[in-house]
Structure formats: structure tokens, C-alpha cells
Structure 1
Amino acid sequence: MMAPEDFVAAEAALLDAGRFDDWLALFAEDGHYWVPLQGAAQADPVSHNSIAYEDRLLLQLRIERLKNPRAHSQHPASHSQHVLQRSRIEREDDGSGEVLLHTPFLYVESRGEQQLLLAGSYRHRLVRTEAGWAIRQKRVDLLNAGRALPAIQLFI
């Protein structure tokens, strides 16, 4: 099984390659993708609004929209580049098979002549399965999460 730190880098590479179905397959059945509106200060996705809080079904719907040739927001198509610092294991629970990782990142999304640059930290909660690691939660704490953001087309 690959190291959890390598898993995070492989996940980002799938997103940058536009392999969204393969990326979704990395999520556990109960997995969530969360971008808190208050960044790292937000304790949970329920007591305050979030930029995104999506389960597998909502992620699948977003992926289908991105793949639709009539999706206006993808003419021209968006591309991304993730630049990751080294992931650090914050907690490991042998009993549950869960690992919590912290990974600072830069994210660039390009569409036509426009580029968007975001910085922040990922918090991956991974669970060990027979097939390898699975994402139970991917939390994206943006550096300036509270500011007005342009539309983000892809997955940070």
C-alpha cells in the first residue's frame, strides 16, 4: 500500500490530468469534499455556510456537468495545477485505520486568458481499506476563504 503522503500527491495528479472519475473513485462511500467558508477557523460544515460540502452523489453530478460538451462554463475548458508541500501526518489511529494528513498547497486554475491562484491547506482524513487508502473527508482550508472568490470551476 502506498504511503498516505504519496496518496495525496497522486490524488492531485488525477485532478490536474482531468481524470475526475478516477478521482471520485478515491472517496469512501461515506466520503465528503468540504471547503469551509471560514477556512481553518470553521469547526464543522453544519453550523456555518460552506463554499462546498459535497458527498459522493454531489461530486458525481459536478463531474457529469464538467464532462458535458454543452457546459457553458467549460468553453474554453478549465485546467488546474496543484503545487503541494510535503504532507505531514497529524494523527494516526491503528484501531480505526484512519490517518489525518495536513498538506499546504498552491492551486492554479486556468481558463482561456484568466488564471486564478489560491493558497491554503488540505486536511485529508483517509481510511485504510483492502484496496488501499480511501478519502473519508477532504477538507480544503483556503488562506483567504472569507473574501469574495470568483467561480471555481474544478476541484481545489
Structure 2
Amino acid sequence: MNRKDVIDFIYNEADLLDRMQWQSWIELYHPDARYWMPLEWQQTDPVLQPSLMYEDLLLLKVRVERLAGERTFSQKPKSRCHHLLQAPQLTALDEAAGTASTRTSFIYTETRGDVLERFSGWASHDLVTVDGALRIKLKRIDLINFDAPFSNIQLFM
């Protein structure tokens, strides 16, 4: 694992989401992974403080199955998304331990029917190498407007 591998991984993850390749996307996650969207600015605790989302791999898989299901009537028409990423910043890299951390500024657009919503913020990834492949241990989404009222966020940022 090197800097280029890590940055390519971040771009690939966003591309899988944009192309609705749910199964390939979920395979990027470590078995102990968490997907976290804090409710407060600079929040440090996802358990004792409320969060917009704090999901383990099982819950992510349930959401992916719902999105891929043919009888998911809340997804007719299906939601679509687009990630516009700045270049990921490598905040830590330990090649010997097989770990890396990144922070990426983004603009995320989600649409369903005639509704278009846009979110801005930062995605942080804690990555670990498992059997020679990078896996997401923690993905944290910090929205710039975390305190605004939201409708349902259907997909993954």
C-alpha cells in the first residue's frame, strides 16, 4: 500500500456508489467497520452522543439489500447520486502496519424523481490492509450543514 493506492481507493469507492454497484461497494468494508455521520461539529463519541447515522456492517448490508431489491417501493423511481471530490488528503500512512487515514472534501448530490438535494462536507476514511487489499474500517461524513433539517438521505455519501 502506498499513497497512490490509497487515493485511488477513495476515488473508486465514490465511483462504485455513483454507479450503484452496491455489492462491490459493501465488499470494500472491513467486518468491524462503521459508517458514521455525526450530528455535532467535531463530535468525538458516536455512541453516547446522537448521530445522523452510525451503522455497522450488518446494517449497511441491510440497507444495500433494500436498495437492490425489486420490491422496494420507496425506491420507485430509484435514487441516484453523484460525488464530486477534491483530491483526498492523506492524513496518516503506515505502510508497515498496513493502515492509512484520509480526509476528502466533497459535494454530494442525490436525486429521486424531481427532487434534487445537495450536501457538502468532508469524508474521512480509516483504512486497513486485509490479505493485501485495502478495507474501510471507519468512514466518517462531516456535513457542513449538519444542524439543518434533512429529508431522508437514501444512499451513501
The one-letter amino acid of 1:9's match is: Y
Matches within 5 A, 1:30-49: 30-39=32-41, 41-49=42-50
The superposition leaves residues 108-156 of structure 1 with CA deviations (integer Å, 9 ceiling, x where unpaired) of: 0010111010000000000122231100000000111121111111011
Cα deviations across residues 6-28 of structure 1 (Å, max 9, x unaligned)?
Answer: 10000000000001111000001
| Number of equivalent positions | 155
Q: Which residue of 1 aligns with 2:150?
A: 149
Tell me the C-alpha RMSD between the 2 structures.
1.3
| Consecutive unaligned residues in structure 2, runs of 5 or more | none
Give runs of ≥4 in structure 1 deviating > 6 Å.
none
Of residues 129-138 and 103-112 in structure 1, the stretch that sits farther from structure 2 once superposed is 129-138
Q: TM-score, normalised by structure 1?
A: 0.94
The letter of the residue matching 1:5 is: I
Are the aligned partners of 2:103 and 2:122 in contact in 1 as well (CA < 8 Å)? Answer: yes
2:135 is paired with a residue whose SS is strand
Q: Deviations over 1:84-115 (max 9, x none)?
A: 00001111234532111000000000101110
Report if aligned partners of 1:73, 1:153 keep a CA contact under 8 Å in 2.
Answer: no
TM, length-normalised to structure 2: 0.94
Letter in 1 for 2:141: V
The C-alpha deviation readout for 1:30-82, integer Å capped at 9, x for no partner, is: 1111111114x111201211111111100000011112222222011100000
Name the residue aligned to 2:58: 57
| 1:139 counterpart residue number | 140
The aligned residue for residue 8 of structure 2 is 6
* 2:116 corresponds to 1:105: no
1:71: which partner in 2? 72
